[in-house]
Amino acid sequence: LFAGTTDFLKGVVAMNGLPDPDRMEVCFAGRSNVGKSTLINALTGRKGLARASNTPGRTQEINFFTVAESHYLVDLPGYGYANAPLAVVEKWQRLLKNYLSGRATLRRAFVLIDARHGVKDVDEEIMKLLDRAAVTFQCVLTKADKVKLQDREKVLDQTRKALSKHPAAYPELVLTSSEKGDGIETLRSIIYGLE
């Protein structure tokens, strides 16, 4: 699937700009700077595809990428802290929430959690929204390369505990490092296996 053609389709700033819901899609949600765009680059093997940077609030549109003409990968603006004016942030947060609760072809939302920090209140808020919208979501722990081996179990446990409260949560966690490649093949096969 990912060996095929991956391309940037469009950046969307309002609900009426979304592409036709004519194929399955998965999206990547998470706090600003958690590594959403970088993960898309790692999954597709194309470093500059989704724009990433160390400045929280890098992605300000909903970016659609086509994979093998059968899937959309969707890179979302981050939530939580962002380095942008409040009015702008509020506009894209509204768009993010509307998208997450109203997209018929959204097959799974990957909720990214920084493995150093675990699940935060803002993550819980998004998970509740996904519960209400009945969108299955799965947590992906990011930046595993920054966490010592002995601390990984702790964050995995904390995340499992948080997920147990959410009816829309898919229980399997994926621990990833876009830097080192951990979990990338696993995540590819999860996406590939979605019907």
User: Quick one: how far is CA 90 from the chain centroid?
Assistant: 19
Say how far apart CA 67 and CA 64 lie, in whole Å.
10
* End-to-end Cα, the chain, rounded Å: 13
CB of 173 to ligand GTP, least distance (A): 15
Considering only residues 13 through 42, tell me which ones interact with ligand GTP, judged by CB under 6 A.
30, 32-38
Which among 22-30, 50-58, 94-102, 157-165 is the span making contact with Mg ion, rule CB under 5 A? 50-58
**Residues in binding contact with Mg ion, number by CB under 5 A:** 4
Say how far apart CA 145 and CA 37 lie, in whole Å.
17
Q: For residue 32, state whether it binds Mg ion (rule: CB under 5 A).
A: no
Say how far apart CA 115 and CA 57 lie, in whole Å.
19
Q: For residue 33, state whether it binds Mg ion (rule: CB under 5 A).
A: no
Q: Which does 173 bind (CB under 5 to 8 A by kind): Mg ion, ligand GTP, none?
A: none
Query: Residue 10 belongs to what H/E stretch?
Result: strand 6-12
Say how far apart CA 54 and CA 63 lie, in whole Å.
18
Q: For residue 11, state whether it binds ligand GTP (rule: CB under 6 A).
A: no
Considering only residues 78 through 107, tell me which ones interact with ligand GTP, judged by CB under 6 A.
78
Judged by the rule CB under 6 A, the positions of this chain that interact with ligand GTP are 30, 32-38, 52-54, 56-59, 77-78, 142-143, 145-146, 177-179
